[in-house]
Structures are given as C-alpha cells and as structure tokens.
C-alpha cells in the first residue's frame, strides 16, 4: 500500500521542477526487493513533451554561444557534483532497480566516467583543415551541434545509460530531453538535482517522466532533431523506423543474447568467476550478460563441477544487504515470466543443474526474487538458447570445435557481445576476427567498453550507424559543415577553384 505522503515525481522543464501537466496515470515506483511503493511517477503526455522541446529549442542559441571550453568546464563541475552524490545515486539504483549495492556503485562509477570522457570535447569536437586544396584556396570541416536531442532509456541501468548521451550531447552544444524508464525514475531525479544546481541556462537539460505516449510524442515532434534509444529489440526497431521516417538522426540500441565460449585450455577458476559475474550480476538483467556458455570439447567436463558449485553458493536477497550476490529482478511479473522460461526450457529437454525457482521459494514472496539457474543439455535451436530471457538463467551448449562454437555464436539474431576464455592467442585471434558481434571479450566476462570507446552492438542489437559514447558520441551529436574559402585582398586569390592555371602543378 502506498503511503499517502509518498512523493509524486516532477518533471524538469525549462530549468524548473514542474508537475506533469495532465498525466494519463500515476504509476507506483516499486522497490523490487520488498514490493513497497516508494514514489509515484506520472505518465506525462504530449503537452509535457511539447513544453520540454520548446524549452530546449529556446535554450539552443544561448547554449551554443557558450564557448566549448566553458561548456567542458561545466561538465568538470558536474563530475564533482555527481561524485559527491555517488552513494545517494547508488542507493537509489538499488532501491528502485534491485541490483546489489556493489553493482550499483560500479554503475555510478561508469556514469561519472561518461562525464569525464565528455570533458574532452574541446579536443574531440575539433574539425579538420587542408590548406591549398586549390591554389590559395583552403577547405575545412567544422562540427556544429545537431539541435534538440532526446534520449529514451531502459530500466536496467538507471544511472549510467542516460549518461551515455546527456553529457556528450550538451558538451557538443546541443540541448537535451531525457525520458527515463517509468520503472526506475528516481535515480535521474538525483542527477537532475545536480544538473539544476549547475545553473545551466534554463532548457539546456529537461526531464519528462512517462511511457509510450512520451516516446511517441518525442519521435514525431518536429522540434526534436535526434533520438537516442536503449531498450528491447522490438521497441528499438520501431523507434528507429519511426524517428527516421520523421527525418531525425537516430541510434537505437536493442536487446541481446550473448555467448561465452570456453576452450579446453581455459583457466577454469578465473573462467568460472567471469561467467558468474556475467550471467548473474544484476540478476542477469544486463544487455551484456553472458547467457549462453558454449563449451568446446572437454571444457564441458572441466567447467561444469566448479560452475555449478559456485552458482549454488550465490546468495539471493535484498541488494542493499551485505552478502547478497543476486538481487531481485525488476518486478514480480518479470520474475514469473523468467520462471516460465525455465519451465519451458526443462519441458523442452534441458536439464536444470541449478534451479533458481527453489531459492525464490525461501524468500519473501512480495520481493521479485529468483535464484541463479543453470540449464544444461541445451541445443542451439531451442528457444531458450535463442531468445533474450533477461534474468539469472544460464544455458550450456556443447560444441565439438572452435569452428562449431563460432557458428553457434553467429547463428544468433543478436550481435551485442561475446567472450572467449582461452590461453591460446590463435583461438582468440580467430574468434575476434570471425565472430559477428560488436563487442568482444578475451578472458573478460562482461566486455562492456569504457566511456572512451563506442558501445558497438551489431545485428538486432543495434539499429543505426553511430554507436553510444566514445568517439561515436561526438559524431552523433554534431553535424559537419565544410567551408571552402579564399581571400582576394591578400594578393594570393587569383586562379580558378575548379581549373588549375596552366603550369600550376609545376609540370
Ligand atoms: P523496453 O524496450 O521495454 O523499454 C525501453 C524504453 O522504451 C522505456 O523507456 C519504455 O518506456 C519505452 N517503451 C517501452 N515500450 C514501448 C513502446 N511500445 N513504444 C514506445 N516506447 C516504449 O526495455 P526495458 O525492459 O526497459 O529494458 C530491457 C531491455 O533493454 C533488454 O532487452 C536489454 O537487452 C535492453 N538493453 C540494451 C542495451 C544495449 O546497449 N543494447 C543496454 C541496456 C538495456
């Protein structure tokens, strides 16, 4: 039951906290470890989007006129402010999303790293120049902001994923509208308190809470120039198509099914550590979670004992408590959906080496708990091996050779991440060369790139051209303009641009 005093979250529009104008509904924000409502989030509508976009458009000339170096300096200040609130941010992540506090702290560190990377904008936003493209004529390409940029983000990284976009967009001179996931809107309230305290010109950053209606209004709004989306693959595809149809620049990051290939020469204890962190960290709710282990040859026999033992030792519980290794999943309906996957997997012929449904039975049913699960004897064509489960469920597939393993990885519709555990440089070289995914780990369980490299999914894991963060962020958040120029009064301006005068090449 919701306490009557429970806070209804505001939007942040034009430099002010403001209630949603006419919300279609107020949704409870629920702590998935306890089932308690901790706030209410408004499902804002088109009028709220319009107000935010108008504020962002109005702020554009003023923000663009701030020097690039001064914009970077504001980000230095933001970095300090977020670092000072890091523990509040991490606790908000755990409270609304469920991941363990250790995982949440690591997420917040990554969020802050995004701001650090964006601080390099006076260097990364530089253009290029070539003197004398024709006699006494110079050509140069400069980068300018795209305009009003909007981001729509998922539930699983309430702190970090919005910051894959926000700091880079504003560093490049754009203004910004964020729509957080309606399931986890609290963390960005704290981030926006710090953005508010920065005293940016009103309208540079805006926050509109809501769901599908807000998304569709942003996609269709003529005042929005660019859309960044992160979420499930079907919605990513819809967003990509609809935004592109409206003539917007768009990047849409989708779901995943990531494979971890284990070679017979892998260092087993470190491999088990890597797999456990990848498959069960954040209760498997990461787009870079390894959810299929493909063992090559005798790797299976070497791995299965230690992996099962380590999985059984994981402690399921409230992410805020010391000693919890696996927190709840996002909601009780997600827990039931994932349990359904396990049931269908077993019915389809998989063997449950560890069944997380039992662990769940021992915990408070109001919490969305499900223990880590391992399904062995899975084959590549089974649904559980192909579809994204997005929970703490790991499937094991056997392959006879590295060739077979690569074929299994490449048969997936998704192409986010894949890792190999081996001590063979030759195997690792072949794997990175042939595997059709955008992010590869070699003896790394979660090969999510740091802020300074692009988050570069392929296939159904990504729709667009330019990826999130790293150098791609500056490409995405700027437009190129090329200028060709000469100056007659310098006395050097003679000659035609298109036709070199006879003898000009010295021949
Ligand atoms: P989701 O697709 O349900 O929601 C993502 C966002 O889209 C939310 O803000 C939501 O309000 C909005 N939305 C949902 N349905 C919509 C619709 N029909 N029309 C318009 N907007 C809609 O995803 P989720 O459950 O919040 O997040 C989990 C998914 O995100 C997983 O599939 C995961 O793999 C993926 N993800 C991908 C990456 C990546 O980098 N590729 C990163 C994190 C999460």
Residue 364 Cα to ligand 1 middle (Å): 28
The tens digit of pLDDT for each residue in 88-128 reads 999 999 999 999 999 999 999 999 999 999 999 999 999 99
Alpha-carbon span 229 to 355, nearest angstrom: 34
The tens digit of pLDDT for each residue in 376-430 reads 999 999 999 999 999 999 999 999 999 999 999 999 999 999 999 999 999 999 9
For residue 164, what are the CA distances in angstroms to 252, 281, 454?
12, 20, 10
Alpha-carbon span 501 to 73, nearest angstrom: 48
Residue 127 Cα to ligand 1 middle (Å): 34
The tens digit of pLDDT for each residue in 137-146 reads 999 999 999 9
Q: Is the CB of 153 under 6 A from ligand 1?
A: yes
Q: Is the CB of 231 under 6 A from ligand 1?
A: yes
pLDDT value of position 358: 82
pLDDT value of position 495: 59
Domain 258-442 annotated CATH 3.40.50.10070? no
Q: Which are the catalytic amino acids?
A: 287
> Cα–Cα–Cα angle for 240, 246, 251, nearest 5°?
30
pLDDT value of position 2: 43
Alpha-carbon span 70 to 44, nearest angstrom: 33
Q: Tell me the H-state helices in 246-331.
A: 268-280, 299-312
Instruction: Report helix, strand or coil for 119.
Output: coil
Which of 32, 96, 235 is the best mutation target for the ligand 1 pocket, counting ligand atoms within 8 Å of the beta carbon and taking the most? Answer: 235
Domain 11-254+461-482 annotated CATH 3.40.605.10? yes
The tens digit of pLDDT for each residue in 448-460 reads 999 999 999 999 9
- pTM, 2 dp: 0.96
Residue 426 Cα to ligand 1 middle (Å): 37
Among 165, 208, 180, residue whose Cα is nearest residue 97: 180
Domain with CATH 3.40.605.10 in the chain: 11-254+461-482
Confidence of residue 364 (pLDDT cuts 50, 70, 90): confident
Q: Is the CB of 154 under 6 A from ligand 1?
A: yes
Alpha-carbon span 320 to 192, nearest angstrom: 23
Residue 5 has pLDDT above 80, yes or no: no
Alpha-carbon span 368 to 327, nearest angstrom: 9
Domain with CATH 3.40.309.10 in the chain: 258-442
Q: Is the CB of 156 under 6 A from ligand 1?
A: yes
Alpha-carbon span 352 to 56, nearest angstrom: 52
* Average per-residue pLDDT for the chain: 95
Q: Give yes or no for a contact between 143 and 480, defined as CB atoms under 8 angstroms apart.
A: yes
In percent, how much of the chain has pLDDT > 90? 93
Confidence of residue 69 (pLDDT cuts 50, 70, 90): very high
CB atoms within 10 A of CB 267: 13
The token duo for 108 is 């917040």
Q: Give yes or no for a contact between 326 and 106, defined as CB atoms under 8 angstroms apart.
A: no
Residues 6+ away with beta carbon under 8 Å from 65: none
């Amino acid at each position: 039951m919701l306490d009557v005093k429970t806070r209804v979250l505001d939007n942040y529009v034009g430099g002010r906290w403001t209630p949603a104008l006419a919300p279609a509904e107020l949704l409870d924000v629920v702590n998935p470890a306890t089932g308690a409502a901790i706030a209410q989030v408004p499902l804002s509508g088109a009028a709220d989007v319009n107000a935010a976009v108008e504020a962002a458009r109005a702020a554009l000339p003023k923000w663009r006129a701030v020097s690039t170096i001064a914009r970077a300096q504001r980000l230095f200040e933001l970095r300090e402010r977020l670092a000072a609130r890091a523990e509040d941010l991490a606790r908000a992540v755990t409270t609304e999303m469920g991941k363990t506090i250790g995982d949440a702290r690591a997420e917040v560190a990554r969020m802050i790293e995004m701001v650090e990377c964006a601080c390099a904008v006076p260097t990364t936003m530089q253009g290029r120049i070539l003197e004398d493209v024709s006699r006494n004529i110079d050509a140069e390409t400069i980068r300018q902001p795209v305009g009003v940029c909007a981001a729509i983000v998922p539930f699983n990284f309430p702190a970090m994923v919005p910051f894959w976009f926000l700091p880079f967009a504003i560093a490049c001179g754009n203004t910004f509208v964020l729509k957080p996931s309606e399931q986890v809107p609290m963390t960005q309230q704290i981030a926006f308190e710090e953005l508010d305290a920065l005293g940016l010109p009103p309208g540079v950053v805006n926050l509109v809470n809501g769901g599908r209606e807000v998304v569709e209004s942003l996609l269709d709004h003529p005042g929005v120039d660019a859309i960044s989306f992160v979420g499930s693959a079907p919605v990513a595809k819809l967003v990509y198509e609809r935004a592109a149809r409206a003539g917007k620049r768009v990047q849409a990051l989708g779901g995943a099914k990531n494979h971890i290939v284990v070679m017979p020469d892998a260092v087993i204890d470190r491999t088990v550590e890597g797999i456990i962190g990848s498959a069960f960290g954040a209760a498997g709710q990461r787009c870079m979670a390894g959810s299929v282990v493909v063992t090559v040859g005798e790797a299976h026999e070497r791995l299965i004992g230690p992996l099962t033992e380590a999985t059984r030792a994981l402690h399921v519980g409230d992410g805020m408590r010391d000693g919890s290794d696996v927190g709840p999943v996002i909601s009780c309906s997600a827990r039931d959906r994932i349990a359904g996957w396990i049931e269908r997997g077993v019915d389809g012929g998989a063997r449950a080496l560890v069944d997380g449904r039992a662990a769940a039975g021992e915990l408070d049913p109001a919490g969305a708990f499900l223990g880590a699960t391992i399904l062995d004897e899975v084959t590549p064509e089974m649904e559980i091996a192909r579809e994204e489960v997005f929970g703490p469920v790991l499937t094991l597939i056997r392959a006879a050779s590295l060739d077979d393993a690569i074929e299994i990885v490449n048969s997936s519709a998704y192409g986010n991440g894949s890792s190999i555990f081996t001590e063979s440089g030759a195997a690792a070289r072949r794997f990175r060369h042939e595997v059709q995914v955008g992010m590869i780990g070699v003896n790394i369980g979660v090969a999510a790139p740091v802020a300074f490299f692009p988050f570069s999914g392929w296939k159904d894991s990504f729709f667009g051209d330019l990826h999130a963060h790293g150098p791609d962020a500056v490409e995405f958040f700027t437009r190129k303009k090329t200028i060709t120029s000469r100056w007659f009064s310098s006395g050097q301006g003679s000659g035609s641009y298109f036709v070199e005068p006879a003898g000009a090449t010295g021949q």
